[in-house]
Amino acid sequence: MAKICVPVCVRRMDDLGEAIKAAAAAGDIVEIRADYLDLAEPNFAQLERRLAAVQGPLILTLRCPEQDGQSQHDYEARRRFWSSVRELPANWFVDLELDLVEDFAAGEAAGKLPIDWRQVICSHHDFTGVPDNFEQIFARMLQSPAGIIKIAFQAADGVDCLKVFQLLDRARQRGREVIAIAMGPAGLMTRILAPSRGSFLTYGAIAEGRENAPGQVTASELRDLYRIDHIDRNTHLFGIIGHPIGHSLSPQMHNAALAAAGLNAVYIPFEVDDVVHFIRRMAHPNTRELDWRLKGLSVTAPHKSMVMQCLDWIDPAAREIGAVNTILEKDGELHGFNLDAAGFIAPLREALGIISNARCAVIGAGGAARACVWALRNEGAEVTIFARDYGQGEFLAKMFAVNYEQLLRNSFTGFDVVVNTTPLGTCGALENQTVATAEQLRDVRMAYDLVYNPSETRFIREALAAGCEVLGGIEMLLAQGVAQFKLWTGKQPDIEVMRARALDTLNG
């Protein structure tokens, strides 16, 4: 089983007891972040009585300010603290920065470390990115007497995670215990996969909102959503590539379906800025620099068009649309498909019945808009594209031989369906924005919002106020998700399991 370490980050000594109990219940190892405690001059004697009740494994940490410590304890204060530590139980560890480890090992200014070196984690953190001197840092750590070495750095792009996986392989070959993590949203894959690739542990927060490092997820997510205890070298990997990716419900839906089907597989969010770089170095079977069983990818904004240049074969429909939202690894090649079109049209067909001759306004001119326009045109609908960007909107209209207008009109009267394909309304900074108001939507039969998080966007609320029928993006997400699952696994997923997990997530 993967070991999940849950940090305890409290200010008051009196809160330690309950926090330790909660962390022990959530994970396998408890980390006491002594730098969070409101102590003028920390000493192990102050903590010893509070820690006596800990039954399981424990890590004691006093982080320095330069490496995200939550106190101003300087080098001398930290040296005195570690010098005050007495003999510890065999399953307890201490986390010291590399400079302290080297000084204690030299036995000069720092003095003798009163701890078995096998219980020492020698750590280095970089919150700015991959260290320029990464190799030198790793070499110094290998030379230290510490039983475990730990490197954590901020990942700017998914490809940065290669450093983590390569480090794990190299440390394993040298017989060293190692903890390696890429922080930030782009590093999430390392938190999920590192234990299966030899990492001594991974870190999970005790609860949402209690994270103490960028990109950290909860221990329960690692166990229940990503099923980290079941991941091994034979696990098939699927995921979604985009930027940003944190709002996506696809991991919840697909992981629930994979678990229900009893498959040794996991679906992971991959925060990717440079998609060409990612496909070449991490995804394509012929060029990837990582030995993993990556079998399929969902593709979301802004990569649906750019990714096409990286693929070996593209389905004719996706080529016509000019966007790919699904990739399948097959016989050493990457094949691209657009399942957005089918996912979009199926709920609309069910709601309207006959779509032929329906007057449809599609707002937006990105990859999702391409799929919608292509699907509507194939159904015989009359389509008009509305976009603020004249060049992009006019190009798309000519591409599909449909009408184009700039998004300046006062009313959508005369249209049967208005579709929002833009990100306006998405959870976060755009949540209170809408492409159309109730006044503009009067006399429109149906409003269809492809945004699914939140489930009721401002656009949907405006449409309901105008008396429109509405369709939310969750229906399209489900339809294309089912199609992806079948393409990747050859199996029919449990649709109701996928729906329930998506709705539970949206409803909190």
Provide the residue type at 58 as one letter: L
CA-to-CA dists, residue 96 to 33, 62, 249, 435, angstroms = 12, 7, 38, 53
Query: How far is the C-alpha of 349 from the C-alpha of 66, rounded, in Å?
Result: 58
Which residues is 60 bridged to in the sheet?
A: 32, 94
Place of tokens 């079941």: 230
Provide the residue type at 244 as one letter: P
| R_g (Cα) of the chain, nearest Å | 26
Query: How far is the C-alpha of 329 from the C-alpha of 488, rounded, in Å?
Result: 8
Task: For residue 345, give every residue at least 6 positions away whose Cβ sits within 8 Å of its Cβ, in sequence order, or none.
Answer: 355, 375, 376, 378, 379
CA-to-CA dists, residue 98 to 81, 142, 208, angstroms = 16, 11, 30
Query: How far is the C-alpha of 272 from the C-alpha of 297, rounded, in Å?
Result: 12
Half-sphere exposure of 316 (CA within 13 A, CB side): 0
Given the residues 304, 398, 486, 491, select the one marked as catalytic: 304
**Three-class secondary structure of residue 250 per DSSP:** helix
Give first-to-last CA distance, the chain, whole Å.
Answer: 28
CA-to-CA dists, residue 68 to 71, 97, 186, 457, angstroms = 9, 11, 19, 37
DSSP string, 163-203: HHHHHHHHHHHTT-EEEEEEESGGGHHHHHHGGGGTBS-EE
User: What phi, psi does 446 have (nearest 5°)?
Assistant: -140, 140
3-state SS, 376-403, equals: HHHCCCEEEEEECCHHHHHHHHHHHCCE
Which of 282, 309, 286 has its CA nearest to residue 297?
Answer: 282
Provide the residue type at 172 as one letter: R
User: What phi, psi does 340 have (nearest 5°)?
Assistant: -65, -40
Quick check: is 304 catalytic?
yes
Query: How far is the C-alpha of 210 from the C-alpha of 233, rounded, in Å?
Result: 31
Known catalytic residues are 304
